[in-house]
Amino acid sequence: MIVHQIDGQRRRSRNKSKAKGRSKSDLCHQKEAEKCMNKMVELGKGKDPTAIIASEAGLNRICKTIKDDTLKCLKGYFKKCGTPLHREISDLIIDQIDFRIKRFCDDKERKSTFLTQSPCFHAKVFSTSEHKSQCNNKFLSRVNQIETSKVNVDEIHSTLCCGYNIWDNCTTSMVTDRCGAKGQQVFKSFLNDNFGLITNMMCPLDLFQTDSTVCTKVKAKTAKGKAKLGDNAISKYILSLFSFLFVSEE
């Protein structure tokens, strides 16, 4: 959302004056911010992307990519391109994300506990066709509806939030059934550490219950979906940072 405002200012500035070579407006294009997510998106590619959560080396790779590449890059973008207000807001959000990520990544006991359960998450849940079709596609199909302009502008927020909460409920239920109560506890802690800041703030479950009238109204027209990044801030945050979890069924 902040990136869109900066990009709008960039276009207005570019219309007023054109500098030689690569101007600041070019360096502040929305695509420059999106480049910060490239290394995270790469983690979601390959034959078995969710295997990354099942090993210490995989978790270390995730942590390094988020902390050393993605967040530092985004902070640099906002420092270079944002107004004082943009920088203040973005610093607050990025610092909170960084705090949550470090709380998970820098705590050996927390990571060790996660690794006792994550092989089960990978083998019995995330890598299965059931999870891809029953959980991932129900979220991704809603994202795709928005990106193909099949959703009323007024319903974009509820479409995304209902889709995410449906994915959350579906995945948590599958984790509980296949990895037990301890697995469910560890999984929910992992979600809160990594997704909690944005999803709890923008998609509170009491407002977007999966069986509510709001969510029924924005039900996806198709059950198929692909992990495609679009312009919406919520979907871009989730699909970029954790693309390896949202693998679609081909």
Give residue-wise pLDDT tens across range 154-212: 788 888 888 888 999 999 999 999 999 999 999 999 888 777 667 777 888 888 888 88
Give residue-wise pLDDT tens across range 132-146: 999 998 888 887 777
Kindly state whether residue 250 falls inside one of the protein's structural domains: no
What global pTM score does this model have? 0.79
If one counts the domains in the chain, the total is 1
Kindly state whether residue 16 falls inside one of the protein's structural domains: no
* Rounded Cα–Cα distance for residues 130 and 132 (Å): 6
Kindly state whether residue 19 falls inside one of the protein's structural domains: no
**pLDDT over 60 at 14, yes or no:** no
Kindly state whether residue 137 falls inside one of the protein's structural domains: yes
Kindly state whether residue 126 falls inside one of the protein's structural domains: yes
**pLDDT over 90 at 115, yes or no:** yes
Give residue-wise pLDDT tens across range 217-247: 777 655 555 545 455 555 666 676 677 888 7
Full domain range(s) for residue 82: 2-10+31-245
Kindly state whether residue 25 falls inside one of the protein's structural domains: no
> What per-residue string of b and e applies to 222-241 under the rule 16 or more CB within 10 Å gives b?
eeebbbeeeebebbbbbbbb
Kindly state whether residue 162 falls inside one of the protein's structural domains: yes
* Rounded Cα–Cα distance for residues 213 and 228 (Å): 27
